[in-house]
Structure 1
Amino acid sequence: MKLGMLTACLPQWDLDTIAKWAAGQGYQALEVAVWPGTGGRDFEASHLPVASFGEKEADETRALFDKHGLELSAFAYYENNLHPDLDRRGEIRTHLKHAIDAAQLLGVPYVGTFVGRDWTKPVADNLREAERILPELVEYAGERDVKIIVENCVMEGWHPDGYPGNLAYSPELWEWMFGLGLYLNWDPSHLTWIGIDPVETIAPYIDRIVHAQAKDVELRPRDRNRYGHFGPALDRTGNPWDMGWWRYRVPGLGQVDWSAVVDRLYEAGFTGTLSVEHEDPVWGGTPEKVTQGLEIAHRTLRPLIVA
């Protein structure tokens, strides 16, 4: 197992700067954000130009990672592959294929995305639509020796009422998407706030957990007693991502039992990358604060991982 980090939390920095900092801090791998450009969400970072990627860019990227002694564990392009706007859905599909093509050139084994959801339709209709369109993407990736990995993020902010916007949030849905040829970028934070014990989900699905993300979550049960699991109902216009009773934290500052998580990953035979995904509002806002948060995450996780 290697300890890595997702580069999306530092959209202001270029990849060379991130790699130099991460290697100096003791991280071993980078999960590289490859959105086409920074957008409306903090994690829409663009650290490699996959839409125009060729042999020259691949050689430069390999040299950069060799220089800093890092691995490139995966590409990250987490978007809604079931977007209700078909033009937008087509743009997402095209860019995902660009990411897959670039991964093939670099020998990157995984490209991360979301199943997503058309929030104007019921779940059953979404599942049938996914079964129609996702296998072609899986086949496209497989022909290039790349696996598509899906993070089990709920993406509640994509739904106008705060319901799941990514139909890959539970083991029930994992089993369904595995049947389409997809793999899992396992993240315990989302499981924790929706009431699933993350440790108990590792062993049954380890053959499909090929990459993992390290993000923590802080729960406020008193506020949950007011809103329920679905968050505020009367006013969701301010921030659709604020559920009112929990927030993401860097590993070590929330409810996730990281000793148990890492121990169970080892027991199950996981040999991939555990990649810190930094979305902690306390340790965010500026590159200085973000890197301080990443240092906290490293101090929490590094002692648990065999050298």
Structure 2
Amino acid sequence: MKTIKGPAIFLAQFAGDTAPFNSLDSIARWVAGLGYKGVQIPSWEARLFDLAKAADSQDYCDEVKGTLAAHGLTITELSTHLQGQLVAVHPAYDAQFDAFAAPEVRGNPAARQAWAVDQVKMAARASQRLGLTAHATFSGALAWPYVYPWPQRPAGLVEDAFDELARRWKPILDIFEDNGVDAAFEIHPGEDLHDGITFEMFLDRVGNHARANILYDPSHFVLQQLDYLAFIDIYHDRIKCFHVKDAEFRPSGRSGVYGGYQSWVDRPGRFRSLGDGQVDFPAIFSKMAHYNFPGWAVLEWECALKHPEVGAAEGAPFIQRHIIPVTEHAFDDFAAGGADRFLNRRVMGLAD
């Protein structure tokens, strides 16, 4: 068995224009002071990271690693959540998602998609230069507006949407294969890959591609009322990244899974800081140890109530408490009798 690595933290929710959140060096000093050992870097965050330079320059990648190492940190993964989202955008979301793209491609869906594909491919090359084995991203969505079938969906719509999604991602996955990096899709409402069934639909269409994998985040399964422990049992061999994020679901007579268009703080299902929600983290970390999860436990802070810096400060010790240093021998080895075929036959009543 393997001991999960951590604690680590995703920097996306903390990067900003003021110190210590406005440079890689200063934010690294801050998170190291909180007890973190790794950082997941949002590749679009120019205040912290230059993706294009990292894709082409080993010297730059070594510099980034050195900056982090000076604070006792390592990179867990790069993230292209925003760019991955733009690989597949339904027209209903064009206006909202345009802000995720470079200014020069906004208002031009075809150019925006091409830019996004190039960004994710650069992330594969940058990950290889940084010595990483996994990458965090989103799948994007073409079918999501039709998740609730009323009016009845046209026959074949979902199948055609997933065919197109796979057509767009297959060449990207091939680049990840060329660079020896797993693309881990966060299974997330709003994405076409939002549960196990949709992941399987996609996986089938990309020919069970070895690099098509999963970022596991139990908070999104709480909000869907999906069994997040059974999910690990089913898909553990494809789980390559892990966001440690809490959530709660408290339905009422007025609102449930869909939330009534309410703000996050008023929804029955909402994200919480670690320990404040309903996720059974001891069971999750036990399953991760049982299935030899090879990666990092990465805090993604998103809470409707608590201040982010408080959530970050509480996150490192919370994760550290839940990491299971795995045993190297069975608890009852002291009573082992060794291998003895004759004794085995006697125990079964078969000895002469």
- TM-score of the two chains, using structure 2 as the length reference: 0.73
What is the DSSP-based 3-state SS (H/G/I as helix, E as strand, rest coil) of the residue aligned with 1:8?
A: coil
1:124 maps to what in 2?
Answer: 159
Q: Kindly indicate whether the alpha-carbon contact (under 8 Å) linking 1:187 and 1:215 is maintained by their aligned counterparts in 2.
A: yes
Match of 2:34 in 1: 25
Contact residue 113 and residue 151 of structure 1 kept, 8 A: yes
Choose the corresponding residue for 1:167, options 185, 192, 206. Answer: 192
The separation in 2 between residues aligned to 1:294 and 1:124, in whole angstroms, is: 41
Q: 1:82 aligns with which of 88, 108, 115?
A: 88
SS in 1 for 2:241: strand
Q: 1:97 aligns with which of 121, 140, 143?
A: 121
**Which deviations, in whole Å up to 9, do the C-alpha atoms of 1:91-115 show, x marking residues without a partner?**
2112112222211221122222111
Give the alignment of 1:148-159 within 5 angstroms: 148-154=183-189
Give the letter aligned to residue 257 of structure 2.
Answer: H
Partner of 1:189: 219
CA distance in 1, matches of 2:291, 2:110: 40
Partner of 2:9: 5
| Aligned-residue offset at 1:172 | 1.2
Q: Quick check: 2:216–2:241 contact (8 Å CA) kept in 1?
A: yes
Distance 1:186 1:243 in 2: 25
- The match for 1:52 is 53
d(CA) in 2 for partners of 1:178, 1:207: 13
Once residues 68 and 314 of structure 2 are traced to their aligned partners in structure 1, the CA distance between those partners, rounded to angstroms, is 24
Cross-structure match for 1:40: none
Equivalent in the alignment of 1:247: 270
Q: Do structure 1's residue 262 and structure 2's residue 285 form an aligned pair?
A: yes
Question: How far 1:50 moved relative to its partner?
Answer: 0.4
**Cα pair distance change 1:243/1:47, threshold 3 Å:** farther
Detail structure 1 runs of 4+ shifted over 6 Å in the superposition: none
Counterpart code for 2:297: L
Q: Specify every segment of 5 or more residues in structure 1 that has no aligned partner in the other structure, as ranges.
A: 38-45, 155-164, 284-288
SS for the counterpart of 2:117 is: helix
Aligned counterpart for 1:231 among listed residues 235, 259, 283: 259
Q: How many residues align?
A: 277
Pick the aligned partner of 2:305 from 264, 277, 282.
282
- Give the distance between the partners of 1:61 and 1:210, measured in 2 at CA: 23
**Offset of 1:136 from its aligned partner?**
0.3
Contact 2:285 2:324 in 1 (8 A): no
Question: Is 1:211 aligned to 2:241, yes or no?
Answer: yes
Bigger CA radius of gyration: 2
Deviation at 1:8, TM superposition (A): 0.6
Query: Please, what TM-score do these two structures have when normalized by structure 1?
Result: 0.83
The gaps in structure 2 that reach 5 residues or longer are 91-108, 147-156, 326-352
Taking the aligned partners of 2:24 and 2:308, their CA distance within structure 1 comes to 15
Residue type at the aligned position of 1:50: L
Q: Distance in 1 between matches of 2:323 and 2:112?
A: 41
Alpha-carbon distance between aligned partners in 2 of 1:269 and 1:36, rounded to the nearest angstrom: 32
Q: Find the residue that maps to 2:12 and give its secondary structure.
A: helix
Q: Distance in 1 between matches of 2:265 and 2:132?
A: 34
The separation in 2 between residues aligned to 1:278 and 1:168, in whole angstroms, is 22
1:42 match:
none
Indicate the percent of aligned positions where both proteins have the same amino acid.
25
1:69 to 2:92 alignment: no
Distance in 2, matches of 1:7 and 1:101, equals 21
Shift of residue 242, structure 1, vs aligned partner? 7.4
Question: Residue 192 of structure 1: CA displacement?
Answer: 1.1
* Among candidates 251, 267, 292, match of residue 310 of structure 2: 292
Question: What's 1:43 paired with?
Answer: none
